[in-house]
């Protein structure tokens, strides 16, 4: 599988990143191991998680996803150098366990390393902006972790154009590490936050982009077409907002392209993201082997100019 350079990080990743937010939620440990084995066999090499996954599940505390990945790596140590391991810090785990202060970053990274059972994280994200902490403090902390060999590269998740631009300016002014990867929400339905100024900035600055919610929480799979479908999965409640006229038009266009190519709508939706200027790779999750196989097929799919134009038009 062809690899893509991830900005200026020195890391190369496959055209699709596996989202492990489902581990410890809708995917148990045994299934997770099977999925991870299969993704490596298929040539995918990047796994995205976070310290907070999956704290929203009743009985969970956060760290469940990292723990499962760590157990898998422990059983397959020869694979560690093949994997680009991505995790995040900054979301709320507890009253004193949130944000991007030096104190919390230093504490959180040790927890992530312990759960992941590794001595380094390939790409460490600031999970969201922290207006309470000076940017130079945050970047300085990341810099010291990088010097210590605990992380290789840093990224910013959920930053808008102004926030990313300001962080780049601080890095330049203070001689600190800069964010070389952005993780924005981006899919056929949710385009406004990335298209335009933010896309232009990352391309101008050679910043890699790994987009999340690439299938709009599953809506773009075509599985959810009416209110009656929302009970099909734990994600159903969050999908209701997509069931408007624009969402239905996007699904109809996906159906048209998918039928013409004899593939699934989700594969077309992912191929569209992979073809976008400025996007390095989308993140997508799988809870079954058939879904993982579909993700792999998406990386092998090339859309025509006409197909891309149709999807651009209905989703603009």
DSSP for 182-209 reads EE-B-SSS--TTTTTHHHHHHHHTT-EE
Secondary structure class of 18 (helix, strand, coil): strand
Consecutive H or E run containing 228: none
CA 183 from centroid of its chain's CA atoms: 6
How far apart, in whole angstroms, are the C-alpha atoms of residue 191 and residue 165?
19
Secondary structure class of 105 (helix, strand, coil): helix
What are the strands, taking DSSP E only, across the chain?
4-5, 12-13, 17-19, 46-48, 84-89, 121-126, 151-157, 181-183, 208-211, 281-284
In whole angstroms, how far apart are CA 287 and each of 13, 27, 36, 85, 272? 21, 6, 11, 19, 22
Phi, psi of 189 (to 5 degrees): -85, -45
Q: Give a three-class secondary structure readout of 235-283.
A: CHHHHHHHCCHHHHHHHHHHHHHHHHHCCCHHHHHHHHHHCCCCCCEEE
Active site residue 53: yes
How far apart, in whole angstroms, are the C-alpha atoms of residue 219 and residue 243?
9
- Residue 156 has which token pair? 């910013």
Among candidate residues 53, 179, 189, 224, the one labeled active-site is 53
Catalytic residue numbers, as ranges = 53
């Amino acid at each position: 599988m062809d690899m893509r350079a991830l900005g200026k990080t020195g890391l190369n990743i496959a055209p699709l990143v596996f989202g492990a937010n489902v581990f410890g939620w809708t995917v148990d440990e045994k299934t997770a191991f099977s999925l991870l084995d299969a993704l490596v066999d298929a040539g995918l090499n990047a796994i995205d998680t976070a310290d907070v996954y999956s704290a929203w599940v009743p009985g969970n505390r956060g760290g469940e996803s990292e723990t499962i990945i760590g157990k898998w790596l422990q059983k397959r140590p020869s694979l560690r150098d093949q994997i680009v391991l991505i995790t995040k810090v900054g979301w709320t785990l507890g009253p004193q366990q949130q944000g991007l202060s030096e104190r919390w970053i230093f504490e959180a990274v040790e927890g992530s390393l312990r759960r992941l059972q590794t001595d380094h994280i390939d790409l460490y994200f600031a999970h969201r902006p922290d207006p309470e902490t000076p940017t130079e403090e945050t970047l300085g902390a990341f810099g010291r972790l990088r010097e210590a060999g605990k992380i290789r590269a840093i990224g910013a998740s959920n930053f808008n154009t102004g926030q990313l631009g300001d962080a780049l300016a601080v890095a330049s002014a203070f001689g600190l590490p800069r964010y070389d990867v952005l993780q924005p929400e981006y899919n056929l339905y949710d385009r406004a936050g990335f298209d335009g100024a933010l896309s232009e900035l990352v391309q101008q600055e050679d910043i890699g982009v790994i987009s999340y919610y690439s299938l709009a929480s599953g809506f773009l799979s075509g599985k959810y077409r009416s209110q009656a479908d929302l009970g099909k999965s734990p994600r159903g409640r969050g999908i209701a907002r997509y069931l408007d006229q624009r969402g239905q038009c996007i699904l109809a266009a996906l159906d048209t392209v998918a039928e013409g190519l004899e593939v699934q709508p989700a594969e077309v939706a992912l191929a569209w993201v992979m073809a976008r200027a400025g996007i390095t790779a989308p993140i997508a999750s799988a809870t079954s082997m058939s879904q993982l196989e579909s993700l792999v097929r998406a990386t092998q799919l090339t859309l025509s100019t006409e197909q891309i134009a149709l999807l651009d038009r209905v989703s603009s």
